[in-house]
Amino acid sequence: MHKQPISCLSQARDLSLESSDQTKEFVQGKPVILLKWLGSNPELPSILLNSHTDVVPVEQEKWSHHPFGAHLDRQGNIYARGSQDMKCVGMQYLEAIRKLKASGFEPVRSIYLSFVPDEEIGGHDGAEKFVDSDVFKNLNVDIVLDEGLASPDEYYRAYYAERCPWWLVIKATGQPGHGAKLFDNTAMENLLKSIESVRRFRASQFDLVKAGLKGEGEVVSVNMVFLKAGTPSPTPSEAEAGFDIRVPPTADPESLERRISEEWAPSSRNMTFELGQFKQKVSVHDKFGKPVLTATDSSNPWWTLLEEAIRKANGKLGKPKIFPASTDARYFRQRGLPAIGFSPMANTPILLHDHNEFLNKDEYLKGIDVYVEIIKSYASYVEHTRKEASRDEL
């Protein structure tokens, strides 16, 4: 994973943000950088602006410009790995603060910026350790902003929840034998029956999205990501397939698990299964099995303030959505904190993790002005809102 935490520190110095005593290595070599803009009433709970410093790898030869060269083309598009996911957001936070400081604005609530590692590989040594720490507890955070997605149309997207990844491997065993012989109960036949069943389920979910009945983040998605089996002859006695499944907080995890064990990997067909990172299946549900969501109605003042701030910056906000993939926001929501996924990139194709990831400079600059309004509004909001749930309650 490519990391650039050092530049955050030089930016912090440049902006006179506090940093030295706040930077923590919960895991050696994986720093969490914390910057602080002290509010005039530090007793009030704070605002946390989170971003991750790691990016996914690149296949350099498939890019039209060097993926780490930040090439600016004639249309004003900046090509770089992380230009959407999510160096843009981390820098926009800092640039918005630069503008606010230059304008003489003084926050009432303290504002923290966290730059965390490892989001792309699950956040276990990054946001998860940070959120579990006393350092985080002492920040007394009231609201978290984290990453969202680009939007190909003129409406910004904001996310109030996310789906949970289940990495599934199903294994089939069966009768080995001569490759020229037709016989029942081979590992391949057993596995293929399961794959057919998974595909029917996948189509049923995808049809709901295609028909406009459900959003992308509201269905269970399943993609087969690998197949591993045998040699040309004899007929192999073992075969396996891996799936990337994404489960929305509104789905019933128990019934999906039943489907896996009864339809996709039934022992009656000599099949077994493993759910990797299985622990994560609870991360979008609380301990009572209730979905972990951030409210997007008048019960959540931070949502209303976000809407108003975007409007004030002449931006348009679409209907709140469930994030289709996985972000660090789930760790904050699990602690009972409201967390909104938001990356101000309208009129932009969704290119995170793709070749030729880019962001247009005008969108980038507009996003800074959107954050100026959001930070101004959040840091001036003095009503008491909610407290972090204590660890014992979770």
Ligand X SMILES: CSCC[C@H](NC(C)=O)C(=O)O
Catalytic machinery residues: 54, 119
Considering CB distances under 5 to 8 angstroms, the limit depending on partner class, which of ligand X, Zn ion, none binds residue 221? Answer: none
| Smaller CB separation from ligand X, 342 or 381 | 342
Q: Binding site annotation covers 384?
A: no
Q: Binding site annotation covers 355?
A: no
Other residues' Cβ atoms within 10 Å of the Cβ of residue 236: 21
| Smaller CB separation from Zn ion, 225 or 382 | 225
Q: How far apart are CA 5 and CA 52, in angstroms?
A: 9
Other residues' Cβ atoms within 10 Å of the Cβ of residue 179: 13
Site string for ligand X, 304-343 (x = CB under 6 A): ---------------------xxx----------------
For 167, 194, 257, the CA distances from 199, given in Å and listed in that order, are: 16, 9, 16
**Longest Cα–Cα distance in the chain:** 82
Site string for Zn ion, 78-117 (x = CB under 5 A): -------xx-------------------------------
Q: How far apart are CA 119 and CA 122, in angstroms?
A: 5
Joined together, the tokens standing for residue 347 give 């009129």
The length of the chain, given as a count of residues: 394
| Smaller CB separation from ligand X, 142 or 146 | 146
Smallest gap from residue 225 Cβ to ligand X (A): 11
Smallest gap from residue 219 Cβ to ligand X (A): 15
Q: Is 242 in the site for ligand X (CB under 6 A)?
A: no
Smallest gap from residue 264 Cβ to ligand X (A): 21
> Using CB under 6 A, which of 165, 236, 320, 338 touches ligand X?
165
Q: Give the number of residues in contact with Zn ion, rule: CB under 5 A.
A: 3
| Smaller CB separation from ligand X, 37 or 115 | 115
Strands 30-37, 24-27: pairing is antiparallel
Bridge partners (DSSP) of residue 291 are 285
Radius of gyration of the chain (CA): 23
Q: Binding site annotation covers 2?
A: no
The answer to whether the CB of 35 falls within 8 A of the CB of 112 is yes
- Using CB under 6 A, which residues numbered 110 to 149 contact ligand X? 120-122
Smallest gap from residue 354 Cβ to Zn ion (A): 10
DSSP string computed for 236-258: -SEEEEEEEEEE-TTS-HHHHHH
The answer to whether the CB of 352 falls within 8 A of the CB of 85 is yes
| Smaller CB separation from Zn ion, 225 or 394 | 225
Helix (H, G, I), strand (E, B) or coil at 72: strand
Other residues' Cβ atoms within 10 Å of the Cβ of residue 115: 29
Stretch that binds Zn ion, among 22-30, 147-155, 252-260, 284-292 (CB under 5 A): 147-155
Centroid of chain to Cα 318:
19
Q: Which residues lie near Zn ion (CB under 5 A)?
A: 85-86, 147
Q: Which residues are annotated as a binding site for Zn(2+)?
A: 52, 85, 120, 147, 353
Applying CB under 6 A, the residues found at the interface with ligand X are 120-122, 165, 325-327, 353
